[in-house]
Amino acid sequence: MHRCLALSLLCALFVGAESAQPKPSDIPKPKFNHEAVEKLGWRLGCQAYTFRKLTLMDTLDVLGALGVKYVELYPGQVLSESHGKTKFNHDVPQELIDEVLAKCKAVGVTPVSYGVVPLPNDEAQCRKVFDFAKKLKLEQIVSEPPADAFELIDKLTAEYNIPVAIHDHPKPSHYWNPDTVLEACKGRSERIGACADVGHWQRSGINPIEALKKLEGHIFESHFKDLNEFGNTKAHDVPWGTGISDVRAVLDEAKRQNYKGTMMVEYEKGAGPELVENVRKCIEWYDKTTKELAGE
């Protein structure tokens, strides 16, 4: 399909045109070799926040069309146009969870994590999140818990067999420095680890390679980014391999550590067809680079 035609079809999806939405097959699919990625023990996913201006159901359609097999859900995304303003989070009833799981199966996308979601030192509130994760068969919960909640959280990770990955937002958030994340993991079970947001580290002036080295053995997943500036909390995303982040070196370090897990595309800039095109470029760069790293 001609690129201009494809982008015009995408416009209908994102601007809510009265005409029918394009079928997922109308979205040009990037080249992606899942075998090379799996050989490295990695997976490519997407933080649903990337498409926060879409409903969750439309987001899943886009991911399925792009060939992205894994998704991290986040609290607060509108479920679908037919459900009005209902947001998909850990307060929804079972029937809505079933609807989302059926949609995921239909488009070939598996939800693997949920975040960034609060986990306060409140057992009833935390259990809501863990129960939700269990119903979705998630691999982990992503959070930035307060220090006084870790004893409770560690207990619940054992009971539910669902790990918690500590996420790092930029300064002045509590976990912007990997040393703070590492300190939170000390004395805890192996079910407490890190969600390595390499872009936020750079916004805070942290070298992502050094941060990954500090957290070696504790990293459960990554929010993967390439940025236009270093040390600026307002730096924005660019397609992988085109910014200042040396994302190839980040993957080299992940390979050296024998990291096994999901790298999530998380784009925090843009919307509409341009956003889909930028995510496509990230996927194609990842395809090329992982083939090289896998020796293919």
Q: What integer pLDDT is reported at residue 230 of this predicted model? A: 97
CB distance 235 to 203 below 8 Å: yes
In tens, the pLDDT along 148-193 reads 999 999 999 999 999 999 999 999 999 999 999 999 999 999 999 9
Q: What integer pLDDT is reported at residue 163 of this predicted model? A: 98
Angular region, 210: left φ>0, alpha ψ -120 to 50, beta rest: alpha
Q: Which residues of the chain have pLDDT under 70?
A: 1-26
d(CA 7, CA 197): 30
- Which superfamily, per CATH, for 3-293? Divalent-metal-dependent TIM barrel enzymes (3.20.20.150)
pTM above 0.75? yes
CB distance 154 to 189 below 8 Å: yes
Query: Which value, in Å, is the radius of gyration of the alpha carbons in the chain?
Result: 19
The structural domains of the chain, with segments of one domain joined by +, span 3-293
- Average pLDDT value over all residues in the chain: 92
The two beta strands, 164-167 and 140-143, are parallel
Q: What integer pLDDT is reported at residue 12 of this predicted model? A: 46
Query: In which residue are the tokens 């980014």 written?
Result: 225
Q: What integer pLDDT is reported at residue 84 of this predicted model? A: 94
